[in-house]
């Protein structure tokens, strides 16, 4: 409190009946300030807070209903904001520290739960629709298969794949043939002759034939994949595979990978996301998304945007009341809240204008 003889710097000075009018004005101002602080604290205390939040939320939404989004927020401003959010939050140490921890928690606790089936967590319909869409993307399939033919290493893999199938087929037939008396000796002679022929061919044009054979194997493999995706009942087989797992506990997913594998996969995906957001082209894509958003919602009022985002005024009020009371009560207990309110209001009550008004009364 300001005592007699103390004045606000630069305030006018009045003499009235042996008592300084300015000193009296300052005392009144202090009393009004104390009353205002108590009033604000009461507004955010107990049941009154619920009423205040509902009242102010309604008032804010009423104002928001008069403001057009595209007139309040400019496209360039939104682009800068989105860039800052992606840059700051995407590179936050919290995400870097918690990515692996979250993966471990999911593996150890959630995935170990035997009370939930996979079918309870993920609905069958969207899985079926996703699979149908992927299998129906013939353009993507054709392009991928065409690009695969450009890779010599992939061709070699395909060649080994085809060779493996043929060798397994020959081996199976050999085992059947060897059960016939006398055939085993003939096959042994034939295999010996084939080995000598192979040695004789080494160092000549075998390398060129191997390369052509690899490409031939790849093309044959590609054709087989095309026919399988388009003609074979792949969709039905995949959904049957899903149905087999849908009735199993979620914990069964741990049979497919270890906790270490999941942890490393999450960290690798996080690293890809972090490094990708730093690229210039990623910023170009973000800007394009912002422009599309403005094109679609730029004429909406701020209040009309809330339902599009799945929010209502009640939702906003409920979230404020979910966390607000605990924060406010904590700030009240240590006196921080009263101090902040006084700090904000004091410049007004002790301003020259207010003191002059009070002194003149």
**pLDDT band at residue 169 under the 50/70/90 scheme:** low
pLDDT above 60 (res 196): no
Q: Specify if 253 maps to a domain.
A: no
Q: What is the pTM of this model?
A: 0.69
Q: Specify if 108 maps to a domain.
A: no
* 244-270 confidence digits (pLDDT tens): 888 888 888 888 888 899 999 999 998
* Containing structural domain, residue 139: 118-248
Q: Specify if 170 maps to a domain.
A: yes
pLDDT above 50 (res 203): no
Number of domains in the chain: 2
- In this structure, the answer to whether residues 63 and 122 fall within a common structural domain is no
- In this structure, the answer to whether residues 126 and 230 fall within a common structural domain is yes
Q: In angstroms, how far apart are the furthest CA atoms of the chain?
A: 139
For residue 80, the model assigns a pLDDT of: 92
**pLDDT band at residue 141 under the 50/70/90 scheme:** confident
**pLDDT band at residue 14 under the 50/70/90 scheme:** very low
Q: Specify if 275 maps to a domain.
A: no
- In this structure, the answer to whether residues 126 and 241 fall within a common structural domain is yes
**CB of 11 within 8 A of CB of 18?**
no
Determine the Cα–Cα distance for residues 160 and 217; give it in Å rounded to an integer: 8
**CB of 48 within 8 A of CB of 42?**
yes
Q: Specify if 31 maps to a domain.
A: yes
* 53-111 confidence digits (pLDDT tens): 999 999 999 999 999 999 999 999 999 999 888 888 777 788 888 888 999 998 888 77
Q: Specify if 292 maps to a domain.
A: no
Q: Specify if 261 maps to a domain.
A: no
Give mean pLDDT, residues 116-145: 89
For residue 212, the model assigns a pLDDT of: 65
* 221-230 confidence digits (pLDDT tens): 788 888 877 7
pLDDT above 80 (res 12): no
* 170-193 confidence digits (pLDDT tens): 666 666 656 655 545 544 555 555
Of 204, 224, 248, the last residue of a domain is 248
For residue 17, the model assigns a pLDDT of: 46
Residue 26: partners with Cβ closer than 8 Å, 6 or more residues away? 2, 6, 7, 8, 11, 350, 355
DSSP string, 233-268: -HHHHHHHHHHHHHTSBGGGGGGTS-HHHHHHHHHH
H or E segment to which residue 184 belongs: helix 183-201
- In this structure, the answer to whether residues 122 and 56 fall within a common structural domain is no
Reference 222, options 153, 165, 144; nearest CA is: 144
* 152-164 confidence digits (pLDDT tens): 777 777 777 767 7
Residue 38: partners with Cβ closer than 8 Å, 6 or more residues away? none
Give mean pLDDT, residues 28-41: 94
For residue 175, the model assigns a pLDDT of: 63
- In this structure, the answer to whether residues 145 and 219 fall within a common structural domain is yes
- In this structure, the answer to whether residues 243 and 321 fall within a common structural domain is no
For residue 278, the model assigns a pLDDT of: 84
Give mean pLDDT, residues 333-358: 91
By residue count, the chain amounts to 361
Of 221, 248, 275, the last residue of a domain is 248
31 to 16, 28, 257: CA distances (angstroms): 20, 5, 69
Of 216, 232, 248, the last residue of a domain is 248
For residue 6, the model assigns a pLDDT of: 43
Q: Specify if 46 maps to a domain.
A: yes
**CB of 297 within 8 A of CB of 69?**
yes
């Amino acid at each position: 409190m300001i005592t007699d003889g103390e004045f606000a710097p630069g305030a006018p000075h009045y003499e009235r009946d042996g008592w300084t009018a300015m000193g009296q004005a300052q005392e009144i101002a202090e009393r009004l300030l104390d009353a205002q602080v108590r009033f604000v604290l009461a507004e955010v205390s107990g049941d009154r807070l619920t009423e205040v939040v509902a009242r102010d939320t309604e008032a804010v939404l009423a104002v928001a209903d008069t403001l057009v989004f595209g007139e309040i927020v400019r496209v360039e401003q939104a682009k800068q904001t989105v860039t800052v959010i992606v840059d700051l939050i995407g590179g936050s140490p919290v995400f870097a520290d918690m990515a692996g921890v979250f993966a471990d928690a999911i593996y150890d606790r959630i995935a170990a739960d035997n009370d939930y089936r996979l079918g309870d967590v993920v609905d069958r319909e969207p899985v079926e629709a996703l699979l149908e869409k992927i299998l129906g993307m013939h353009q993507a399939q054709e392009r991928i298969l065409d690009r695969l033919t450009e890779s010599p290493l992939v061709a070699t893999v395909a060649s080994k794949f085809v060779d493996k199938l043929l060798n397994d087929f020959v081996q199976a037939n050999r085992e059947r043939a060897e059960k016939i008396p006398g055939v085993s000796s003939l096959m042994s002679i034939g295999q010996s002759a084939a080995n000598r022929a192979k040695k004789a061919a080494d160092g000549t044009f075998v390398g060129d034939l191997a390369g052509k054979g690899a490409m031939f194997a790849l093309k044959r493999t590609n054709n087989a994949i095309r026919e399988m995706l388009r003609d074979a009942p792949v969709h039905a087989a995949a959904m049957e595979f899903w149905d087999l797992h849908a009735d199993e506990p979620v914990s069964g997913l741990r049979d497919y990978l270890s906790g270490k594998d999941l942890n490393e996969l999450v960290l690798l995906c996080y690293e890809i996301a972090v490094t990708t957001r730093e690229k210039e082209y990623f910023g170009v894509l973000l800007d394009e998304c912002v422009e599309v958003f403005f094109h679609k919602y730029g004429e909406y009022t701020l209040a009309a945007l809330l339902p599009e985002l799945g929010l209502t005024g009640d939702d906003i009020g409920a979230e404020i009341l979910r966390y607000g009371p605990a924060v406010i009560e904590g700030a009240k207990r240590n006196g921080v809240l009263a101090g902040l309110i006084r700090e904000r209001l004091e410049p007004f009550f002790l301003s020259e204008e207010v003191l002059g008004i009070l002194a003149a009364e």
